[in-house]
């Protein structure tokens, strides 16, 4: 069992006719952990430490979304935010979950916001970290994910943009994400999510529009690293200003991996918000 978890494989369930890999622990009110989109990403690489801690209080579910991790890749799939929302709802339906709180990292935060905006009756509370909002320019961190071609050296170079402290990039993490990046089609979800970088000049990108965020009535905890070089800090400020029920916590000396770089603070703040 330990070997399958280290590899990122968990349980499998059919959601939207997609064989979906996920991890589950604990009991109580359901909380869904939604991973980001960097190279070699999976629910396990994003949430392996968080799952057991939140499982003390909640039923924790952490799926690999369509196009990522160990979830089945359909050759004719169209990856966009509408598809990912449908996949998430199909995942909840397959498990008999009518309403859940969503905790999203980066892309997962965008997915959480989109789901709450379009299907408010399915969402209780939200926690979003390092999540884009409205228009911004592609950062070197996002560009490195697009350009990534599998090798341990390239994985280490891509990951160098993510944490404030490079000590968080361990040999184990590099190897784990490199192995996940070798799954056929592993880059497809990421490259469908981002616009192709311009050869010269800036590349404009769009996160969830502020007008959409402003429509979300669910309570939102916004977490962002001050030194985030992947999704600029200003994105978190926009969400906090736009959402009617939003609290913002900004972490100093912290990059894009709030849940790893400020682990204890993340768990405490998230638990308190979800239990309010």
Exposure letters 141-173 (e unless 16+ CB within 10 A, then b): bbbbbbebebeeebbbebbebbbbeeeebeeeb
Burial class of 223 by CB neighbour count within 10 A (0 to 12, 13 to 18, 19+):
buried
* 228 flagged as catalytic: yes
DSSP 161: T
CA 180, 181, 184, 188 torsion: positive or negative? positive
Residues 220 and 270: their CA atoms lie apart, in Å, by 10
Closest Cα partner for 16 from 109, 60, 79, 61? 79
* 101 flagged as catalytic: no
Residues 135 and 193: their CA atoms lie apart, in Å, by 14
Nearest-10 Cα torsion for 50, 51, 52, 54: 80
* 106 flagged as catalytic: yes
Active-site residue identified among 37, 110, 161, 228: 228
Active-site residue identified among 23, 161, 256, 273: 256
Active-site residue identified among 106, 110, 144, 181: 106
Residues 244 and 119: their CA atoms lie apart, in Å, by 17
How many C-beta atoms lie closer than 10 Å to residue 3's C-beta? 7
Burial class of 190 by CB neighbour count within 10 A (0 to 12, 13 to 18, 19+):
buried
Residues 201 and 248: their CA atoms lie apart, in Å, by 32
Catalytic residues: 106, 228, 256
């Amino acid at each position: 069992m330990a070997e399958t978890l280290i590899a990122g494989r968990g349980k499998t369930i059919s959601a939207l006719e997609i064989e979906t890999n996920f991890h589950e622990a604990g009991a109580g009110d359901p909380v869904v952990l939604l991973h980001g989109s960097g190279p070699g990403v999976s629910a396990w690489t994003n949430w392996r430490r968080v799952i057991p801690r939140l499982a003390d209080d909640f039923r924790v579910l952490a799926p690999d979304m369509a196009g990522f991790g160990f979830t089945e890749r359909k050759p004719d799939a169209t990856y966009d935010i509408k598809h990912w929302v449908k996949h998430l709802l199909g995942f909840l339906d397959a498990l008999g979950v009518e309403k859940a709180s969503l905790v999203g990292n980066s892309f997962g935060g965008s997915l959480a916001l989109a789901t709450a905006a379009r299907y408010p009756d399915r969402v209780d509370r939200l926690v979003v970290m390092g999540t884009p909002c409205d228009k911004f320019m592609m950062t070197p961190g996002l560009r490195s994910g697009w350009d990534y071609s599998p090798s341990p050296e390239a994985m280490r170079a891509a990951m160098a943009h993510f944490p404030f402290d490079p000590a968080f990039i361990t040999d184990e993490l590099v190897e784990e994400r490199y192995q996940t990046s070798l799954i056929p089609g592993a880059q497809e979800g990421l490259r469908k999510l981002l616009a192709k970088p311009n050869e010269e000049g800036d590349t404009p990108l769009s996160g969830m529009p502020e007008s959409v965020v402003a429509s979300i009535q669910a309570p939102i905890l916004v977490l962002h690293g001050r030194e985030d070089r992947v999704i600029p800090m200003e994105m978190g400020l926009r969400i906090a200003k736009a959402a009617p029920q939003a609290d913002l916590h900004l972490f100093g000396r912290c990059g894009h991996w709030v849940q790893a770089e400020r682990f204890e603070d993340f768990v405490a703040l998230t638990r308190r918000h979800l239990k309010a």
